Structure 1
Amino acid sequence: MQHLEEVRNILSDVLDLNERKKFLTEASPLLGAIPELDSMAVVNVITALEDHFEITVDDDEISARVFETLGSLTAFIEQKLAE
Structure 2
Amino acid sequence: MYDLKTADPVQEEVCALLRDTLNLTGRAAELTAETGLFGSLPEFDSMAVVAVLTALEERFGIVIEDDEIDAAIFRTVGSLTDFVRRKRAD
The TM-score bracket by the shorter chain reads over 0.9
Q: Deviations over 1:56-83 (max 9, x none)?
A: 0011111110000000000000000000
Aligned length: 83
* Residue correspondence of structure 1 range 42-61 to structure 2 within 5 A: 42-61=49-68
Greater than 3 Å deviation, 4+ residue runs: none
- Of 5, 11, 16, 1:9 maps to 16
Identity score, percent: 49
Q: Work out the CA distance in 1 between the residues paired with 2:16 and 2:9.
A: 13
Bigger Rg, structure 1 or 2: 2
Q: Deviations over 1:21-52 (max 9, x none)?
A: 01100111111111111111100001001001
Could you say which residue in structure 2 is the equivalent of 1:81?
A: 88
Could you say which residue in structure 2 is the equivalent of 1:69?
A: 76
TM-score (norm 1): 0.96
- Structure 2 unaligned segments of length 5 or more: list them: 1-7
Partner secondary structure for residue 34 of structure 1: coil
More RCO (CA 8 Å, sep 6+):
1
- Structure 1 unaligned segments of length 5 or more: list them: none
Could you say which residue in structure 1 is the equivalent of 2:32?
A: 25
Once the two structures are TM-superposed, the CA of residue 2 in structure 1 deviates from its matched residue by 3.8
Larger helix proportion, structure 1 or 2? 2
